[in-house]
Structure 1
Amino acid sequence: MRIAVTGSIATDHLMSFPGRFTDQLVADQLHTVSLSFLVDELEVRRGGVAPNICFGMGLLGLTPALVGAAGSDFDEYRAWLERHRVDTRSVHISELKHTARFVCTTDSQQNQIASFYAGAMAEARNIELRPVAERLGGLDLVLIGADDPEAMVRHTEECRGLGYPFAADPSQQVARLEGEQIRDLVDGAAYLFSNEYEKALIESKTGWSDEEILTRVGVRVTTLGAKGARIERKGEPQILVPVPQEKAKVDPTGVGDAFRAGFVAGLSWELDLERAAQVGSMMATLVIETLGTQEYELGAGRFLERFALAYGEDAAEEIRGRIA
C-alpha cells in the first residue's frame, strides 16, 4: 500500500528550571520583564505529527512517504527516520528557515514558559502531491495531518482533484481553523481522525451534526483516551475498541500519532476496522509508557504477547506474520 503522510515536522527543546518562575517576578515591574533562567536539563526530542506517524508505521514494517517542510538542519533527523524505514525524499528543504521548533522551560511547579517557531513549516503550502504519486507509482492513501493551514487545504483539494483517497486528521489545528476550512478538509475523506474534544469542535465549527458528517466521510475514528477508540460508519453499528493495560503513564505526547500509525498499518494489511484499531491502541500504549514520541521500541514478541493478552490469541495470530 502506497501511503503518504503530510504534516508538521518539528524538534522539541525541553528544559527544566529547579526554582519557581513566580519567585522571580516583581509585581510593580511586570511591564518591563527581563529574565534569564539557568536551567539544569535540556532534552532535544524529535517531533511533528507527520514524522511521529511515519516512525510508528516504519516500526511495523511499512515504508511511508513523509511529506512536509523542514530546514537545512534536518539532516540528522532525516538519517534517523530513514534508519526506521521512512521515505524522506518528498520533504521540502527551506533555503531560508530552520525546521519548526518548540522551546519550553518548565519550573519545579510544572509552570511553563514556551515559544513555537513555525519556520520552514510555512513552506509546506508549496508542496505538490502529484510528483510524490508519480515517484511512488500512485497513492493508495494520503493522511493529511496538522500542518500549515494553507498546506492542509491545498493537499486536500489536490487529493479530491486527482482521486487520491485521503484521511483527514486536523487534530490541534481545529482550534485555529474556521468552519469553512474544516468543512473543506473533512468533506469526502475516506477516514476522519479526531479525539473526543476535537470531534465536538468540528461539529460546532462546521455546523454539521454527527449524522451529517457520517454522510460525508467513509469512516469516522474518534480516540477516547483511556476509554479506547470508537469507529463509526453510516448505517453500521459503532465499534468500540478498548486500550491494553499500560505499565505506567510516563508521557502522553504522541499517543494519538502512534494510534494512527497502527491503524493505517492495519489497513495496509487488509485487516478489518476493529483489528486495525486494536493495532493502533497497542502502539498508543507503548508510547504512553515512554518518554519521547519516537523513543519506544516494538519488539515483535513483546508486542504480540501483550496484544494477545488484550485482544485474544486469535487476534494476535491474525497479525503475527505482519509484524516486521
Structure 2
Amino acid sequence: MHLAIAGSVAADHLQTFAGRFADSLVPDQLDKLSVSFLVKDLDVRRGGCAGNIAFALGALGRRPTLVAAVGRDFVEQGYQDWLTEAGVDCSRVHVSPDKHTALCTITTDEAHAQIVTFYPGAMSEAGQIDVEALHAERPIDLLLVGPDDPDAMLRHTRAARRIGLSFVADPSQQLAWADGDLIGQLIEGAAYLFTNDYEAALVEQKTGWSADQVKAAVGVQVVTRGADGVTVIDSGGARLDVAAIPGVEAVDPTGVGDAFRGGFLAGLAAGLDLEACAQLGCAVAASVVETTGTQEYTLESAAFHARLTRAYGDAAAARITAALP
C-alpha cells in the first residue's frame, strides 16, 4: 500500500515550565490576558505533523511519500537526510527558494498542558503541490491530509474527491481557527477521520453537526483519548475501545498523536483489522511519550513485541508483529 502523508514539516522548539499554566490564569480576566512563563530548558528537534507521521511509518517498515513544503534549511540542516534514512520518500517535497521551514514552539507545564505557537514559513507554499499529478506518477492508495496551509488542505481534499482517492482527514491543530464550513469541507467523504476527544467535540460544535452526523460524513472515525486509550467507530457504526499501553513513564507528550497515526496507518497497510491497528498505534505512541522529541525513539523488535504482549496478550502481539516487516 502506497501511503502519502501531506501536512506540516517543522523545527520544534520544546520548552518546559516548572509549574502549571492554570495557576497563572484568572478566568474572568482572560480578555486582558498578559502572562509570561520562565522556562527551564530548550530542545530543538525535528517535527511537524507530516514529518512525525512519516517517520513513524518508516520506523515500522513502510515507505511513505512525504507531501510537504519546506525551506532550503530542510536540506541544509540534515532533516531530509534524516527522514530518508528512516525510510521516507522525500522526492516529492516542495522546497521554497526564499522561506524558512515552519517553526513550532511548544511549552509544556508540569501537568502536561501545552501552549503552542506556530510560524508557517514555507508551509504557505504547500498549495502549489499537485496531489493529482503525484497520484498519476505513482498511484496513491491512501492520502492523509494533515495540518497544513489551509488552501493546501482544501486543494488536497478536493483533488482526492475528484479522482476517487481514499483519504484520511486529520485537521488536528487547524480546528482551532477553522470555521464550521471549512471543517465540513475537510472531513466530508473521508475514509478515516482522526481527532482527539477535545477535537471531536470541537468538530461538532463548529459544524453544528451531531455525533451521528459527523459519523455519517466519514467512513471510520478514530478518537484518541490520551491515557484512556482510543475509540474506533467503524463504517457500520460499531464502537471499539482500545486501552492505552499501561505503565508508561511520560516524559513529553509532543508528537504522541502523530505517532499513533503512523502506527495505525502502518497496521492498515499491513492488512490488520481496526483493533490491531489501534493497538499498534498505541504502542508506537507510548514509545514517543517516553522520549523528548517527536522522532527520537527507536522500535527494537523484541522489546516492542514484549510491550504489545503485556498490554494486549500473546495472540494480539503475535498477529501484529507477524504483519510488520
TM-score of Structure 1 vs Structure 2, range by shorter chain = 0.7 to 0.9
Separation in 2, partners of 1:213, 1:112: 27
- 2:13 maps to 13
- CA 1:317 to 1:114, structure 2 compared with 1: closer, same or farther past 3 Å? closer
Describe the superposition over 1:103-137 as per-residue Cα deviations: whole angstroms up to 9, x where unpaired. Answer: 468899x999975321101000111102221332x
Query: How far is 1:322 from its partner?
Result: 3.0
| 1:82 pairs with one of 81, 84, 93 | 84
What residue is the counterpart of 2:96 in the other structure? 94
User: SS of the counterpart of 1:44?
Assistant: strand
Q: 1:87 to 1:112 in 2, by over 3 A?
A: closer
The answer for the alignment partner of 2:222 in structure 1 is 221
User: Identity of paired residues, percent?
Assistant: 49
For 1:118 and 1:187, the matched residues in 2 are separated by 25
* Letter matched to residue 86 of structure 2: H
Identify the residue that residue 173 of structure 1 maps to in structure 2: 174
Q: Is the 8 A contact 2:68 2:94 kept in 1?
A: yes
Q: Is residue 260 of structure 1 aligned with residue 270 of structure 2? A: no
Distance (whole Å) between structure 2 residues aligned to residue 265 and residue 166 of structure 1: 15
CA distance in 2, matches of 1:90, 1:117: 22
Q: Tell me, in whole angstroms, the C-alpha distance in 2 between the residues paired with 1:10 and 1:319.
A: 31
Asked if the contact 1:256/1:284 (under 8 Å) is kept, the reply is yes
**Structure 1 residues 178-197: aligned runs within 5 Å:** 178-197=179-198
Distance 1:84 1:156 in 2: 27
Within a 5 Å distance, the mapping from 1:150-165 to structure 2 comes to 150-165=151-166
Query: What is the DSSP-based 3-state SS (H/G/I as helix, E as strand, rest coil) of the residue aligned with 1:183?
Result: helix
Shift of 1:17: 9.6
- Amino acid across the alignment from 2:59: L
Of residues 131, 134, 141 in structure 2, which corresponds to 1:132? 134
One-letter code of the match for 2:65?
Answer: A
Relative to structure 1, the CA distance from residue 310 to residue 133 in structure 2 (aligned partners, 3 Å threshold; closer, same or farther) is same
Give, in angstroms, the shift of residue 169 of structure 1.
Answer: 0.3
For residues 41 and 226 of structure 1, the distance between their equivalents in structure 2, rounded to whole angstroms, comes to: 26
State the partner residue of 1:283: 284
Aligned to 2:53: 53
- SS at the partner of 1:98? coil
Is contact 2:271-2:323 (8 Å) kept?
A: no
Q: Deviations over 1:171-207 (max 9, x none)?
A: 0100111111100001000000000010011011111
In 2, the alpha carbon distance for the partners of 1:256 and 1:105 equals 17
| Structure 1 residues 120 and 307: alpha-carbon distance in aligned structure 2, compared to 1, 3 A threshold | same
What residue number does 1:237 align with?
A: 238
- Which whole-Å CA distance do the structure 1 matches of 2:58 and 2:271 have between them? 17
Q: Aligned pair count?
A: 306
| CA 260–112 in structure 1, closer or farther in 2 if over 3 Å, else same | closer
Aligned position for 1:209:
210
> Match for residue 118 of structure 2?
116
The AA in structure 1 aligned to 2:124 is A
Q: How does 1:34-73 map to 2 (within 5 A)?
A: 42-73=42-73
User: 1:142 maps to which residue?
Assistant: 143
- List per-residue Cα deviations over 1:41-100 (Å, max 9, x = no partner): 542100100010000000000000000100010111000000000001111000110101
Structure 2 CA distance, aligned partners of 1:211 and 1:15? 39
Could you tell me whether the CA contact under 8 Å between 1:300 and 1:323 is conserved in 2? no
Quickly say closer, same or farther: Cα 1:14–1:270, change in 2 above 3 A.
Answer: closer
CA contact (8 A) 1:57 1:261 kept: yes
Gaps of 5+ in 1: 19-34
Normalising by structure 1, we get a TM-score of 0.88
1:130-149 per-residue CA deviation (whole Å, 9 max, x = no partner) reads 2221332x111000001111
TM-score by length of 2: 0.88
- SS of 2:68's equivalent in the other structure is strand
1:270 aligned residue: 271
- CA 1:111–1:65 in 2, change beyond 3 Å: closer, same or farther? closer
Letter in 2 for 1:169: D
Kindly tell me: are residues 50 and 134 of structure 1, through their superposed partners in 2, closer, same or farther at Cα, counting changes over 3 Å?
Answer: same
Compute the displacement of 1:211 (Å): 0.7
Deviation string 1:186-237 (CA, Å, 9 cap, x unpaired) is 1000000000010011011111111112211110000011110001135442
Query: What letter matches 2:127 in structure 1?
Result: R
Match for residue 27 of structure 2?
none
Larger radius of gyration: 1
Q: Which amino acid aligns with 1:69?
A: A
Equivalent position of 1:31 in the other structure: none
- Could you tell me which amino acid in structure 1 is paired with residue 96 of structure 2? S
Question: By how many angstroms is 1:247 displaced?
Answer: 3.2
